[in-house]
Amino acid sequence: MFAAIGIVVLLVMVFGGFVLAGGSLGPVLAAMPLELMMIGGAAIGGILIGNTMHEIKLLGAGFAKVFKGAKYTDQDHIDAIALTSKLMKLLRSEGPVALESHVTDPANSALFSEYPRLQSDPVVCNMICDPLTLMVVSSGTLDTHAVEDVIDNAIKTQLHEMDEPAHAVQTLADSLPALGIVAAVLGIIKTMGAIDQPPEVLGKMIGGALVGTFLGVLLAYGFAGPMAGRLKQVNAHDSQIFQSIKQVIVASLNGYPQPLVLEAARSGLPPAHRPKLTDLLDIMRGR
């Protein structure tokens, strides 16, 4: 929502200020379609050259994130802590055999079914189930540090994929001013070929060429750059759910009491999205 509002504010302020300053939008609008064709076409070509189809699909999903915001809600973070805590409690109280059916087949798990949003999310399910499956097949004898290393590697890999669109958009933002200059240079070349024309004709042609530079800078710093920053913010928020899962597993394997396990997971969340410890304790007590 704020992204759409920001785009409207940007366009109104930039072009509105230009008009109020006495400028005419006619020459800008006349030159804009072809300038956008050159700049946008070069940008799309660069994206196709520098990425595989997998990254391009991620990029499309990344643009959607700019407007939709974070994937995981505050309730999802609470549910992830609660679900992982219940699974670890089951492991401690009843052993690996009791846990096996839940982590090897989460789609049919009674515990997972209490949290349908997480159950339908393969990324969260894998982040929880993969390390716990290791505990099951090893009969719970794995070293805690080894399990933590495995989880860290899984989180690192997942974050790398999540951040690919942000890196691509930032690269696009860095290249757009130069692509705008390319469009402007082509306009100047065209103008030089018509140097025998009257000044008023040459003035329009030069103005049209400068629109390319203007669009390149505007698209870079007004659109692509902020979008890349927003994507990084969204990914940082969503990644906290993986850290919470990790903290519950590691703290539980270290034998911490449940309140300390919950606090370890809760304290890693940003203050604005951090649930109360008492609320988590109530959830674990079935209240």
pLDDT at residue 167 in the model: 92
- The span from the CA of 287 to the CA of 85, in Å, is 15
Q: Which of 79-88, 150-159, 199-208, 278-287 has the lowest mean pLDDT?
A: 278-287
- The span from the CA of 191 to the CA of 201, in Å, is 9
The band of 199, judged by pLDDT with boundaries at 50, 70 and 90, is confident
Q: Residues 248, 85: contact at Cβ < 8 Å?
A: yes
What does the pLDDT look like over 85-142, one tens digit per residue? 999 999 888 888 889 999 999 999 999 999 999 999 999 999 999 999 998 888 767 7
**What is the reported pTM?**
0.84
What does the pLDDT look like over 171-197, one tens digit per residue? 999 999 999 999 999 988 988 888 888
pLDDT at residue 140 in the model: 62
What does the pLDDT look like over 130-168, one tens digit per residue? 999 998 888 767 788 889 999 999 999 999 999 999 999
- The span from the CA of 54 to the CA of 48, in Å, is 11
Is the model's pLDDT at 78 over the cut of 60? yes
Q: How far is CA 275 from CA 10, 67, 80, 81, 236, in A?
A: 36, 25, 12, 10, 18
